[in-house]
Structure 1
Amino acid sequence: MHWIALQWLVEPGADDVAMPTPEALGWWALRYSPHVTWLDEGLMLEVSACERLWGGRAQLMRQLLHENPVAGALLRGAQGATSLEALARLRLFVRGEKRPAELPAGLPLHTLSAAREHLDLLARMGCQTWGEVAALPRGGLARRFGAGLRNALDIAWQLRPDSHAWLSLPDVFEQKLELPALAESAGELMWSANRLLSALQIWLRMRQRGVRAFELQWTLDLRRVNGVDLPRTEQVVVRTAQPVQDMAHLRRLLSEKLALTTLGAPASWIRLRSLETDPLAGASASFLPEDNRKGDKLHEMVERLSARLGPQQVLVPATRADHRPEQAQDWQPALRGGSFTAIAPSKMQDAAVSAPGRKPRGAAALPDRQPDALYPGWLLREPVLLAMEGERPCYHGPLRKLVGPQRVEAGWWSHGGQEDGEGGHLAVRDYYIAESPEAGLVWIYRERSAASFATGEVRWYLQGLYA
């Protein structure tokens, strides 16, 4: 057997290092060996069956140190024939002491966990190393110091199996953490939440999945405030448009959510749980410079703005089954019911941010419901009544009809010409593409109501412009 012991050291004063939980660091090590466990302060990997897959012991150790999952923390490692020997050599390395020539007999006693509570008594007996203690009579050593010390020495000399409870990767991510101090505001939860987010990223990478929704829950330290009973826990849910592993984006979204949250009482514990995850395919790279754009992705910006301003202030266009042009499109929140609205990537470019209580100005291009229809690229908010010159409508001069008519009859389900449930009025129109002497191509229509034909009053309207 061959063991590797790892330990992360954070420099004094480095308070911004988001150290993942010990369990998450164990998940990271499962990438290199299926036999991973924690032994005191060291993360232990048994690699005898898999080291050749990594090119040997030296190459595997270089790989572990190179792919340190904790940015800002120093990773130290040592190797040994048993877990106790590897951990003892790691402790010597951290303290800057030299490795003895004979292993494991020459290892000092302070590196053996089972001997730490007996160091003073063993020193008075003249025992300073593992080998000197192992040379004592077995029966007397077990009666004097207990069976634990004797068993540890047997494991070190490979006389007893070096067995441990191995770590495994859970199917669902869920971890909790006690806060270092009571959090009075939601923003104070972020520092500890960063540790859990780092653990979530490790879990997602090992599962080769991306998160679409996760929940941060905190436990309130009080049960009653000002005579009002409080719930035991409170929580916020963060959702994304696509499966992601990028913790920087998730931290921004969670920070925006917490900035709008007020704690009912001080919090003492937090828990992070994954709600929805999807398999994550590998990203495709490109040699073309225009495909390697820097900055946030568009859907990430929409998610962040929705979390900051509110779902009703970030809108995207949606088509409606209506032949009336002014009713063929609607604006709806990009995040609806806590989930992202399914939109084609090209439609994401039409996302708009509106002021509270107002719709975005203008409209996008009309959907192509008829293959031979030539719809304008821009619709007016409301049709404009055109002046007449005899029987010819005018817009910056008399208009010359080029294409048409395209007949539209819709809204017949409305009652008595009143607005129906979908909005708008009965529409009986003939649409034309016309040319203006100064404005270029325009989209106009003529009303075909029975009253207009009976009175001979024909009204023309401008509804769209062509680029």
Structure 2
Amino acid sequence: MHWIALQWSLEAQAEAGAATAAADAMPTPEALGWWALRYTPHVCWLDEALMLEVSACERLWGGRSSLMRQLLNENPVPAAAVLRGAQGATSLEALARLRLFVREEKRPPEIPAGLPLDTLSAAREHLDALARLGCRSWGEVAALPRGGLSRRFGAELRAALDIAWGLRPESHAWLTLPDVFEQKLELPALAETAPELMWSANRLLSALQIWLRARQRGARALELEWTLDLKRFNGVNLPPTQQVAVRTAEPTQDLAHLRRLLSEKLALATLAAPASWLKLRSLETDPWAGASTSFLPEDNRKGDKLHEMVERLSVRLGAMQVLVPRARADHQPEHTQVWRPALGRSGIKSAAPKARARDAAAAPAQQPDALYPAWLLPEPLRLEMDGERPCYKGPLSKLIGPQRVETGWWGGVDEGGQPAVRDYYIAESPEAGLVWIFRERSAACFASGEVRWFLQGLYA
């Protein structure tokens, strides 16, 4: 058996608030245990230290020294928290040597017999009585008669000494990784505004990132819930909790991106009453394929990814303010695309009004024909006539056409029951360049003899 004991401690800071900020950003003890599960399946908490039993897997990490260096280098806690470690043949020995290291005391020549008695947790409540007997080390206590020691100081002390000398097997409650992330945290002070919750939410997000990496999953949907400290406010009954949900278009383990999304969401929320507890849980996760890299410099650009920027703007401005075009099967150009919220791809249900579905002013129509223009007007613009020639910033000269479109004769809902019969042309304007126009060929136009031309799109 071989054990490693780890302990995180906050060093004295030049500024009083630096240590407090580091403590709030430190992951929860449970999350630190999840981080240690990357190295060995045998992890537990023993008093103030995180214990790792590594005898079965240390060779996979290149030996004990290599494993210890890797643990120290991959410290998941901010730099303000110092990670200290010690090793031993048993968990009690490793914990005792860690306590000596923290106190900056030298290791005794004999282990475990020479270890100071105050480094053994089972002996701490009996230190005064044992000192009067002249016992100040583990070996001196172990030399006392077994029966008398157990009757005078209890069986726990004798059992601890047997474990330290390898006479009794150790028994621990090993940590396991849950299938779903869910952690609750008590706020250091009542939060009266939603952005104040972000201070403590950072600690839960750090724990979430550790869980995602250990599970090899990427977050798709999260929910942050806070417990209200009041049941009634201004004569109104309040719900016990409030919550906000955050969704992403792609699975992610990026803590900075999740923090920005949650900050934007909380900035729009209003607390019904001061909050006392905070809980974060994962609603949806996907398998994590890992980040792909490229040797080409143009593929390794710095900055946010496009979908991350779109998600952040959608949360900040509202889902209906950040739209993307979607292709639709229809022969009428103004109906070939609809606008949908950009976050609809990540599962958020949205229903755009019919007027928005027909708005195709700010994105190109997705057509298989290369002659279609890159830019369509929101509504076809009726053109003035110069005799029999349509005009748009000057008389137009038809170059290509006609391309006849006859659709809507079945009276669909989107067309309002009105058929569309048109002849499309590519024309040239003296000032606007190439334009896309059409002439109506409806029965009413033929009956009245009126010829109507419309501008449908522009070419870049």
So what's the TM-score if we normalise by structure 1? 0.91
* Alpha carbons 1:334, 1:340 under 8 Å: kept: no
Q: Are residues 177 and 396 of structure 1, via their aligned partners in 2, closer, same or farther at CA, if it must alter by over 3 Å?
A: closer
User: Which position in structure 2 is the counterpart of 1:11?
Assistant: 11
Deviation at 1:322, TM superposition (A): 2.4
Partner AA of 1:110 in structure 2: D
Matched residue, 1:346: none
**SS of 1:16 mapped into structure 2:** helix
SS of 2:19's equivalent?
coil
| CA displacement, residues 105-154 of structure 1 (integer Å, 9 cap, x when unaligned) | 11001111011111111112111111111111111111111111111111
* C-alpha distance in structure 2 between counterparts of 1:366 and 1:336, whole Å: 20
User: Which segment drifts farther, 15-24 or 94-103?
Assistant: 15-24
Alignment equivalent of 2:338, drawn from 330, 351, 356: 330
Counterpart of 1:71 in structure 2 is: 78
Q: Paired residue for 2:389?
A: 392
Indicate if the aligned counterparts of 2:146 and 2:158 stay in contact, CA closer than 8 A.
yes
Q: Corresponding residue for 2:454?
A: 461
Which residue does the alignment assign to 2:367? 368
Alignment partner, residue 158 of structure 1: 166
Deviations 1:425-458 (A, max 9, x none): 5421110112334433221111101122223221
Q: 432, 441, 446: which one pairs with 2:439?
A: 446
Q: Deviations over 1:3-49 (max 9, x none)?
A: 00001112234222211111111111111111111000110011111
Matched residue, 2:279:
271
Shift of 1:187: 1.9
**How far, CA to CA, are the matches of 1:262 and 1:396 in structure 2?**
52
Give the whole-Å Cα distance in 1 for the aligned partners of 2:149 and 2:186.
Answer: 41
Q: 1:281 aligns with which of 280, 289, 296?
A: 289
Contact 2:360–2:377 at 8 Å: present in 1 too? no
Q: What is the deviation of 1:358? A: 13
User: Residue 347 of structure 1 corresponds to which residue in structure 2?
Assistant: none
Q: 2:398 aligns with which of 394, 397, 401?
A: 401
Report matched runs for 1:125-164 at 5 Å: 125-164=133-172
Deviates more, 1:201-210 or 1:217-226: 217-226
Q: Is the 8 A contact 1:241 1:340 kept in 2?
A: no
- Equivalent residue runs for 1:121-270 within 5 Å: 121-270=129-278
Residue-pair matches, total: 447
Runs of 4+ with >6 A deviation:
357-361
Distance of aligned partners of 1:247 and 1:423 in 2 relative to their CA distance in 1, 3 Å threshold? farther
Q: Residue type matched to 1:16 in 2?
A: A
Are the counterparts in 2 of residues 334 and 341 from structure 1 also a CA contact under 8 Å?
no
* SS in structure 1 at match of 2:376: strand
| Partner residue, 2:317 | 309
2:15 corresponds in structure 1 to none
2:114 to 106, 114, 120: 106
Quickly say closer, same or farther: Cα 1:394–1:282, change in 2 above 3 A. same
C-alpha displacement at 1:340, in angstroms?
A: 5.4
Q: Shift in Å at residue 99 of structure 1?
A: 0.6
TM-score, normalisation: structure 2: 0.92
Distance 1:183 1:389 in 2: 70
Moved more, 172-181 or 243-252: 172-181
Q: RMSD value over aligned CA atoms?
A: 2.2
Farther off after superposition, 283-292 or 329-338: 329-338
Take 1:42 and 1:241, find their aligned partners in 2: how far apart are those partners?
39
Contact 2:338-2:357 within 8 A present in 1 as well: no
Which position in structure 1 is the counterpart of 2:34?
Answer: 27
Unaligned ranges ≥5, structure 2: 13-17, 351-355
Q: Which residue identity does 2:52 align to in structure 1?
A: L
Amino acid across the alignment from 2:275: A
Pairing 1:45–2:44 present: no
Between the aligned partners of 1:311 and 1:229, the Cα distance in structure 2 is 30
Tell me, yes or no, if the aligned pair for 1:315 and 1:333 is still in contact at 8 Å.
yes
Deviates more, 1:357-366 or 1:286-295: 357-366
1:94 shift after superposition: 0.7
Q: How many Å separate the matches in 1 of 2:398 and 2:345?
A: 47
Distance 1:29 1:68 in 2: 10
Do the aligned partners of 1:397 and 1:437 also contact (CA within 8 Å) in 2? Answer: yes
Q: Cα distance, 1:335 vs. partner?
A: 2.4
Cα pair 2:184 2:279 within 8 Å, conserved: yes
**2:99 maps to which residue?**
91
The question of whether the paired residues in 2 share the 8 Å contact of 1:317 and 1:330 is answered with yes
Change (3 A) 1:33 1:444: same
Shift of residue 334, structure 1, vs aligned partner: 1.5
For 2:201 and 2:458, locate their aligned partners in 1 and report how far apart those are by CA, in whole Å.
52
Asked whether 1:293 is paired with 2:301, we answer: yes
Closer, same or farther in 2 for the Cα pair 1:142/1:198, shift >3 Å? same
Shift of 1:266: 1.9
**1: CA distance between counterparts of 2:444 and 2:199?**
70
Give me the whole-angstrom Cα distance separating, in 2, the residues matched to 1:123 and 1:391.
115
Residues 1:55 and 2:55 aligned together: no
Quote the offset at 1:386 in angstroms. 2.5
Q: Is the 8 A contact 1:378 1:465 kept in 2?
A: yes
Distance in 2 separating the partners of 1:337 and 1:423: 29
Name which of structure 1's ranges 133-142 and 360-369 shifts more when overlaid on structure 2: 360-369
What pairs with 1:113-124 in structure 2 (closer than 5 Å)?
113-124=121-132
1:327·1:424 contact (CA, 8 Å) conserved in 2? no
Determine the C-alpha separation between the residues in 2 that align with 1:454 and 1:267.
72
2-structure distance, mates of 1:403, 1:448: 18
The answer to whether 1:430 aligns with 2:423 is yes
Are 2:404 and 2:424, in contact at CA under 8 Å, matched by a contact in 1?
Answer: yes
SS in 2 for 1:384: strand
